[in-house]
Structure 1
Amino acid sequence: MEVLISAFTAFLFAFLAIKFFKPVAIEVGLVDKPNERKLHAGHIPLIGGISIFIAVLMASLLWLPNTLELRMYLIASAMMVFIGAVDDKFDLKVRIRVIGQLIVASLMIYGVGGYISNLGDLFGLGDVTLGPAGIIFTYIGIIVVINAFNMVDGIDGLIGSLSINTFASIAILFIMSGQNNYLSYPLILATATIPYLIFNLGLTKKSKKIFMGDAGSMFIGLSVIWLLTMGTQNEQASFRPVTALWICAVPLMDMLAIVVRRYKNGKSPFKPDRDHLHHILQRVGYSSRQTLVIISLFAATMSVFGLVGEYFTVPDVIMLLGFLFMFVCYVVVIRKITKFERVDQVSNKE
């Protein structure tokens, strides 16, 4: 019962926070303005992430046990949201954002003395333990997941849908393992995201559009990696590390594919462009809402594969090879779509 109450509390505070911060954001200029990459109409308040954080903070303080781990998470999250909000307002340089993310990562790693030290039996030869190298791996993992969710925020509803999918999958994994004491964490995050999704998609007549902002996408990424670490690395791990790949597959695949593509083209991995999955699908003719449905269904399907593999204890090596196979298929399909798009453009010019 307390789990449901905490989830409802998060939903309520998120809704109220949106109502409160919308006029404030417009007043202080915390808005997203259209440009050559951003084709929306008007100035949109960047308060989605702030409202979600406020909701998570209040629900956590009211209903969750006051542990050191929770305190460190909330402090790190507050710092992440602040850095993201400053970036939303002043468009910080990539170097400054990454430094801020490293500071937040240090707080989470050293604040509770925990890091990713066991990757599971990935090669069928026993658990891959990292030892002290796990600290470096954790830094990389935090930066990768934060920026993966940050990069995928490109069309209405996408990051909200993908984050709810991931949080819901983690909640199911906690239930499957019998770790119901952790269930409130992902459910609070999931329900706190729902009001943002309602306003972002304009699902009601009175819900004027808002955006997540870097404050929100980076906070979502930080929350995901925190939950994944908590679920796979404690003494009573709830699920295997390889399952984490499946339940946040789309942001990871999209980021890895586009970083490699930018590197091959001699561009900075962090330089924005319009070559993400959602951009490609829109250019070949799908509407924004159709693109959202396609990507969301793909993400949900990948999560189901991960959940089924965890439930039936499919060997880690098969889970890893299956994920890599899906990633290769993803890259091949994207290349074919892009090639078809270029051929079509050349034909139209002729």
Structure 2
Amino acid sequence: VPTYVKDSSNLISLPSGLETPFEAQSDYITPNDQFFVCSASDTPRIDAETWTMTVAGDGVGRAITLSYRDLMAMPHKTVPAYLECAGNHRRLFEDVLGEPLNRRPSMTEVKWGLGGVGMAEWSGARLRDVLRQAKIRDSAYHVCPVGLDVGLEDADGIRVPMPVTKAMHPDTLIALTMNGDPLPPDHGFPARLIVPGWVGTYSIKWLGRIDVTTAHQWVYRNTELYVLAGDDWPVDASAPSKGAPITEQTIKSSLALPWPAELSPGPHRLHGWARSPDAEIVSVEWSVASDETWHEAEICSPNHRWAWVRFELEWEATTGTHELLTRASDKAGRTQPDRVPFNDGGYLFNMVHPHPVHVR
């Protein structure tokens, strides 16, 4: 279990992670001290005065080294974006679908509930501005950030590559602040990547260098760890990876209630959070599982491309055990599915799921 800097007493301790109790997500912005953490090792303590970051590789015309002050002096952009672990909702594969986890012999999966996600305003330099300083070549193929934290898979830093097109997107940031404050140590101080709409592993913390190559980079995280594998995922289609590499997030919605929840009979105004990988949410519907009628929930927050939205609904609770369902749709035409195929890593669970509620 990694060692963290923040006080974790109000968070749920998991192997390699701290989960935010989802029922505590009441505000649009997740406070830094309540934001979930997923780390492969202890939080490194880094001195910004001596820290530097290097950009190099055959995909750039010249290698450059930047200090914290260099990045602070560059033009900054603020991007409101949720950050979510690819394994968030993993426990629901067991709880809802009855699919046992931990099917990968060499790994123990972190059993995230609903709270491996948080919403923040990130500010920093655009990654593309840094790559342009290094004279990124037209032939560049992969941009691979490397962290200063060390995991079992990479002795000299956690890494995962992304295509140049995503790296050059104007909203992909080298973030220096989180919700207006310097990045907290657990969240990547002094500098981390923020890759909106993609699973959290791409938002590498504690940046040390960025490798830019003209060839495809195969690393542990896109060949073994963050891949969709199992009976429903043919291996041959993804070779040399052991499954389809995971990049983009999926559309989701969940109620901000304990699991299971306990309520008193009578009227309740409930809320939850819906998000999409790269489009505004256009609607959230809700239903009681015993009733085939769907109702429109009210969207009650800003609605940005990379951000989540708060939705609210009025429910007249009657005594007994109920299951509440929510279903989000986005501007790109995506809607949460009624079912998702299982994968051995328990990733990307986003089906319409029954939230158990006991009314007594």
State the TM-score, normalizing by the size of structure 1.
0.30
Hey, which of these two has a bigger chunk of strand by percent? Answer: 2
User: Is the helix fraction higher in 1 or 2?
Assistant: 1
Highest relative contact order (Cα 8 Å, sep 6+), 1 or 2? 1
